[in-house]
């Protein structure tokens, strides 16, 4: 890995106000860290805009094969920033001078779709995205986590679909993605009650795959899993992500046709030959 770092060109990531991106070229792992720790990484207008840009940059890097999403500080993400009435009004798309109800509704529709796209960026990313959750993961934090491909958490993690307590129907993706992870009944109960789900229950219901004892152990766990995944055939990994997302949203018959079409083009790759040669050497 040290030799690979020396031989790899220097990667200079872009700078953002609310997130930090980095790349370990030796292990082929990119990291996106939410970076508003004093606000428990609450999502403000800048973060909505910067997350998809950061994800797209990581997706564009040839050296990156896996992305890990983390949060600076004690909490992963406390949801949307409700620290002031102005911030909340702006994020809800209500800070508009438009008087016509029809035009106002259409503007609000476009605003919500834009927020949805911010987190759908994790699904659009060709590389698998692993999410490491410590502390609070509330509201928009859950929207973010369930848009990722794999989730791990620390023992102090707490998950809450908080929107009903703010008199809002969750509209950024949790109600669509959470049921496919934990089942329709459990997701409905979480969304209606806005109760807090702890780490062990999150693992039991399938919201997370593994629980680490603390934040340091969580970082080590996510790093280990990401490095292991990055060592596998990039084409096979990308194809698996595409096939899993397609299968979630389509019938079995459509999924089988999709993966057959995909593999008919990809089974001629050099990765397959190298894997077979290594297995039977």
Task: Tell me whether residue 143 is one of the annotated catalytic residues.
Answer: yes
Backbone dihedral angles phi then psi of residue 137, each to the nearest 5 degrees? -135, 90
The single residue of 30, 135, 139, 140 carrying the catalytic annotation is 140
Q: Which of 50, 63, 81, 143 is catalytic?
A: 143
232 vs 151, 239, 265, CA distance in Å? 19, 12, 19
Cα 73 from Cα 75, distance rounded (Å): 6
Please say if 86 is a catalytic residue. no
User: Is 163 an annotated catalytic residue?
Assistant: yes
Contact 191, 174 (CB under 8 A): yes
List 43, 51, 80, 172, catalytic entry = 80
Of 59, 117, 171, 189, catalytic: 171
Note if 171 is an active site residue: yes
- Beta sheet of 158-160, edge-to-edge order: 136-138, 158-160, 197-198
Instruction: Output the 3-class SS for 80-145.
Output: ECCCCHHHHHHHCCCCCCCCCHHHHHHHHHHHHHHHHHHHHHHHHCCCCEEEEECCEEECHHHHHH
> Tokens 């990581």 sit at which residue?
58
CA-based torsion, 122, 125, 126, 131: positive or negative: negative
- Active-site residue (options: 44, 163, 219, 223): 163
Angle, alpha carbons 224-229-233 (nearest 5°): 150
Residue 80 annotated among the catalytic residues of the structure: yes
Dihedral of the alpha carbons of 103, 105, 110, 116, in degrees to the nearest 10: 170
Phi (first) and psi of residue 243, to 5 degrees: -65, -40
The number of beta carbons lying within 10 Å of the beta carbon of residue 215 is 22
Catalytic residues: 80, 140, 143, 163, 171
């Amino acid at each position: 890995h040290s030799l690979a770092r020396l031989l790899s060109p220097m990667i200079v990531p872009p700078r953002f106000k609310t997130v930090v991106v980095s790349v370990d070229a030796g292990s082929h792992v990119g990291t996106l860290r939410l970076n508003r720790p004093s606000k428990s990484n609450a999502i403000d207008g800048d973060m909505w805009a910067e997350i998809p840009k950061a994800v797209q940059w990581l997706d564009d890097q040839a050296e990156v094969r896996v992305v890990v999403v983390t949060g600076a500080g004690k909490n992963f993400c406390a949801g949307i920033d409700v620290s002031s009435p102005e911030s909340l009004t702006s994020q809800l798309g209500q800070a508009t001078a438009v008087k016509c109800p029809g035009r106002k509704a259409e503007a609000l529709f476009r605003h919500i779709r834009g927020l949805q796209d911010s987190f759908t960026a994790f699904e659009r990313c060709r590389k698998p995205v692993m999410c490491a959750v410590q502390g609070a993961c509330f509201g928009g934090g859950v929207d973010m986590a369930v848009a990722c491909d794999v989730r791990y958490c620390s023992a102090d993690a707490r998950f809450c679909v908080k929107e009903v307590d703010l008199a809002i129907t969750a509209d950024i993706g949790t109600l669509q993605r959470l049921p496919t992870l934990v089942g329709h009944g459990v997701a409905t109960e979480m969304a209606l009650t806005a109760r807090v789900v702890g780490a062990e229950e999150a693992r039991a219901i399938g919201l997370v795959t593994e629980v680490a004892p603390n934040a340091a152990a969580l970082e080590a766990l996510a790093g280990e899993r990401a490095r292991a995944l990055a060592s596998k055939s990039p084409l096979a990994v990308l194809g698996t992500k595409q096939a899993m997302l397609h299968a979630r949203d389509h019938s079995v018959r459509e999924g089988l046709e999709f993966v057959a079409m995909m593999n008919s083009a990809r089974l001629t790759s050099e990765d397959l030959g190298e894997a077979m040669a290594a297995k039977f050497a």
